[in-house]
Amino acid sequence: MIVVSKIDELKKLIYDWKSQGQTIGFCPTMGSLHAGHMDLVQSSKTQTDKTIVSIFVNPTQFNDPKDFEKYPVNTENDLLLCEKNGVDIVFLPDVKTMYPDTKTPIQLSIPKLQNHLCGRTRPGHFEGVLQIVAKLFHLTEPTKAFFGLKDYQQFRVISAMVENLNFPLDIVGVPTRRETDGLAMSSRNVRLSTKERETASLIPRMFALAKKTIQAGERDIKLWKEILRDFLLTGSSLRIDYLEVVDPIELQPKEKLEGEILLAIAVFVGEVRLIDNQVIEIPN
């Protein structure tokens, strides 16, 4: 495994691969890697010849500077995990490398996909994500790029950027890896105290309740959301940032429980913000 932090070195390695006709899989990350990230790596390894992981805690996507400061960093362990999982290159740039010119910043956005969910409660977040991901795509020139579906809105926003701007690559969504109690794996989970971790287990239980109540015939969307909210709020130190029902493609609010829906939530457990979602098919 090769670890590079300079753009020139990375470009040289990619040029060599491309001239040999190798396909490239790219897994962008912010580090503090866990089994969920390794699912991205494994998908890449089965679908492409070479796999690149980038590790970069991107400052432009944090609307709360405190969240940025507290974002867990665990580079030594990340590199070991990448090596063990057969990653070919880890790209580990610093902020100056990724943002050498702050005088003329660019801004990308896809307003329709960003108006709800995290885009509404974290202003500027997706602009930062699109900025860094577009740069990383140009630097790594992937054939396919892999994103976890826990960050469903991010997956949709990036897919739409690739489509709109004709980036020559495919975006692949990888299912969410979960802990044994169903909590979605996240780099932020390590910041939860034992008590908060217990509270966080209300999230997968809320999704189970959501499905059960739909199966039992509940179709009143307002009432349904209230039942789910009330369930979550039984958790001490849990605050709901949003609990929304949208269509899974354009991410617009649904007025009725019908067809395919995305139930998406963001909650704060103590100070830690957790997100999760489920696509649910509502039976007729």
The site for ligand PAF (CB under 6 A) is made up of 28-30, 58, 61, 129, 132-133, 151, 154
Give me the count of residues in the chain: 284
| Bridge partners, residue 275, by sequence | 266
Q: Which two tokens stand for residue 157?
A: 């926003």
35 marked among binding-site residues: yes
SS3 110: coil
Q: Rounded to the nearest whole angstrom, what is the least distance from the CB of residue 155 to ligand PAF in the complex?
A: 9
Nearer to ligand PAF, 32 or 199 (CB): 32
**Can you count the helices (H) and strands (E) in the chain?**
12, 9
What the block records as the tokens of 56 is 């970069």
CB of residue 235 to ligand PAF, shortest distance in Å? 25
Burial class for 146, CB neighbours closer than 10 Å (0-12, 13-18, 19+): buried
Q: Which residue is catalytic, options 37, 116, 125, 138?
A: 37
C-alpha to C-alpha distance for 127 and 60, rounded to whole angstroms: 8
Cα–Cα distance for residue pair 182/210, rounded to 1 Å: 14
Helices 202-215 + 221-232 axis angle, to 10: 150
What 3-state DSSP class applies to 118?
helix
Question: Smallest gap, in angstroms, from Cβ of residue 138 to ligand PAF?
Answer: 14
Q: Any catalytic annotation for residue 125?
A: no
Nearest distance from C-beta of residue 133 to ligand PAF, angstroms: 6
Of 36 and 235, CB closest to ligand PAF:
36
Name the residue nearer to ligand PAF (CB basis): 48 or 58.
Answer: 58
31 is an annotated ligand-binding site residue: yes
Which of residues 61 and 278 has its CB atom nearest to ligand PAF in the complex?
Answer: 61
| 188 in a labelled binding site | yes
185 is in an annotated binding site: yes
Kindly state the smallest distance separating residue 56's Cβ from ligand PAF, in Å.
6
117 marked ligand binding residue: no
Residue 5 phi/psi, 5° resolution?
-120, -10
User: Annotation-wise, does 49 bind a ligand?
Assistant: no
Q: How many CA atoms lie within 13 A of 55 on its CB side?
A: 25
Strand extents, DSSP E, 31-168 = 50-55, 89-91, 144-148
* CB-CB contact of 245 with 265 (8 Å): no
Residue 154, annotated as binding a ligand: yes
Rounded Cα–Cα distance for residues 193 and 185 (Å) = 15
Nearer to ligand PAF, 171 or 192 (CB): 171
Binding residues: 30-37, 61, 148-151, 154, 185-188
Binding residues for beta-alanine: 61
- Among all residues, which ones are annotated catalytic? 37
Binding residues for ATP: 30-37, 148-151, 185-188
Binding residues for (R)-pantoate: 61, 154
